Structure 1
Amino acid sequence: YKNYPRMKREYLDAMQSESITAMEMEEARQQALAEGHAEGLAKGHAEGLKEGERQKALETARKMTAENCERSLILKVTGITEEDLDSLS
């Protein structure tokens, strides 16, 4: 029993170390989740903007087609592909 205080101290130190490690792991997990969420939002926002720009270009192409604009002008002004323009007809 002479070593009991030392053993108790070592045990408590080990438990505290495990507790700190678990807390650090949870903090890292929470941070990773937050970063992943922020990255996902940014990517979704960028994709939404890109799709909105594409839809606007297609709408402009529809209007230009209705006004009998030249095909080459429609492609140049809107930046859409020939396949996209063909799909509007």
Structure 2
Amino acid sequence: MTATDLHCDMRGRIYLVGAGAWCADFLTLRAGAVLKVASFILYDDLIDSSILDRCDAECIYVGKRNESVTTLDRIGSMISYSRLR
């Protein structure tokens, strides 16, 4: 499957990708392919920043550490919005 094929299959879809805790080495090939063609990526503090550096998507932080707190309702709204684009 090429990135182009994957992109065609992904329109209007949401993928939950576990990237391992702070280690890009734990990312699967499929997860890497999905992230490569994603339009939006919602991420938290556990992702290795080098993973986001490889993505052309709009990356939106939704973590709950420090003073930045994103509620589940807000995350749900972001997901709904991203599916419409």
Higher strand residue share:
2
TM-score bucket of the superposed structures, by smaller chain: under 0.3
Give the structure-2-normalised TM-score. Answer: 0.26
Give the structure-1-normalised TM-score. Answer: 0.26
Higher helix residue share:
1
- More relative contact order in 1 or in 2 (CA 8 Å, sep 6+)? 2
Q: Which structure would you say has the larger Rg? A: 1
